[in-house]
Amino acid sequence: MNFSKVAEQLGYSQSAVTIQIKQLEYVIILLSYMISEYFVTTVFRLRSIKHKFITIFFFKSTLQI
Protein backbone atom coordinates (compact mmCIF):
# COMPACT_ATOMS: atom_id res chain seq x y z
CA MET A 1 0.00 0.00 0.00
CA ASN A 2 1.17 3.45 -0.75
CA PHE A 3 0.79 6.66 1.21
CA SER A 4 -2.21 7.95 -0.77
CA LYS A 5 -4.22 4.74 -0.38
CA VAL A 6 -3.60 4.54 3.36
CA ALA A 7 -4.63 8.18 3.82
CA GLU A 8 -7.74 7.58 1.74
CA GLN A 9 -8.71 4.46 3.72
CA LEU A 10 -8.37 6.45 6.94
CA GLY A 11 -10.67 9.12 5.54
CA TYR A 12 -8.00 11.75 4.96
CA SER A 13 -6.73 13.38 1.84
CA GLN A 14 -3.05 13.02 1.06
CA SER A 15 -2.57 16.77 1.53
CA ALA A 16 -4.20 16.68 5.01
CA VAL A 17 -1.86 13.88 6.09
CA THR A 18 1.13 15.71 4.61
CA ILE A 19 0.19 18.84 6.58
CA GLN A 20 -0.14 16.80 9.78
CA ILE A 21 3.26 15.23 9.17
CA LYS A 22 4.81 18.67 8.63
CA GLN A 23 3.21 19.90 11.87
CA LEU A 24 4.58 16.87 13.74
CA GLU A 25 8.04 17.53 12.29
CA TYR A 26 7.80 21.12 13.53
CA VAL A 27 6.77 19.95 17.03
CA ILE A 28 9.63 17.45 17.13
CA ILE A 29 12.13 20.13 16.10
CA LEU A 30 10.72 22.54 18.69
CA LEU A 31 10.84 19.92 21.45
CA SER A 32 14.42 18.95 20.59
CA TYR A 33 15.42 22.62 20.73
CA MET A 34 13.70 23.04 24.10
CA ILE A 35 15.36 19.90 25.48
CA SER A 36 18.80 21.00 24.27
CA GLU A 37 18.29 24.48 25.76
CA TYR A 38 17.23 22.93 29.07
CA PHE A 39 20.28 20.66 29.03
CA VAL A 40 22.68 23.53 28.26
CA THR A 41 21.08 25.71 30.95
CA THR A 42 21.35 22.88 33.48
CA VAL A 43 25.02 22.30 32.64
CA PHE A 44 25.79 26.02 33.07
CA ARG A 45 23.92 26.07 36.40
CA LEU A 46 25.90 23.06 37.62
CA ARG A 47 29.16 24.69 36.56
CA SER A 48 28.15 27.87 38.39
CA ILE A 49 27.31 25.91 41.54
CA LYS A 50 30.61 24.05 41.29
CA HIS A 51 32.49 27.35 40.85
CA LYS A 52 30.74 28.88 43.89
CA PHE A 53 31.49 25.80 45.98
CA ILE A 54 35.17 25.85 45.01
CA THR A 55 35.39 29.59 45.71
CA ILE A 56 33.78 29.19 49.14
CA PHE A 57 35.93 26.16 49.95
CA PHE A 58 39.18 27.95 49.08
CA PHE A 59 38.09 31.11 50.86
CA LYS A 60 37.36 29.16 54.03
CA SER A 61 40.62 27.24 53.80
CA THR A 62 42.61 30.47 53.46
CA LEU A 63 40.91 31.90 56.54
CA GLN A 64 41.86 28.86 58.63
CA ILE A 65 45.58 29.21 57.89
Statement: residue 65 has pLDDT above 60: no
pLDDT given at position 64: 60
Residue 14 contacts residue 3 (beta carbons within 8 Å): yes
Q: What is the pLDDT of residues 10-60, one digit of tens each?
A: 888 888 888 888 999 999 999 998 888 888 888 888 888 888 887 777 776
pTM: 0.54
Backbone angles phi, psi at 19, to 5 degrees: -65, -45
Side chain identity at 33, as an amino acid letter?
Y
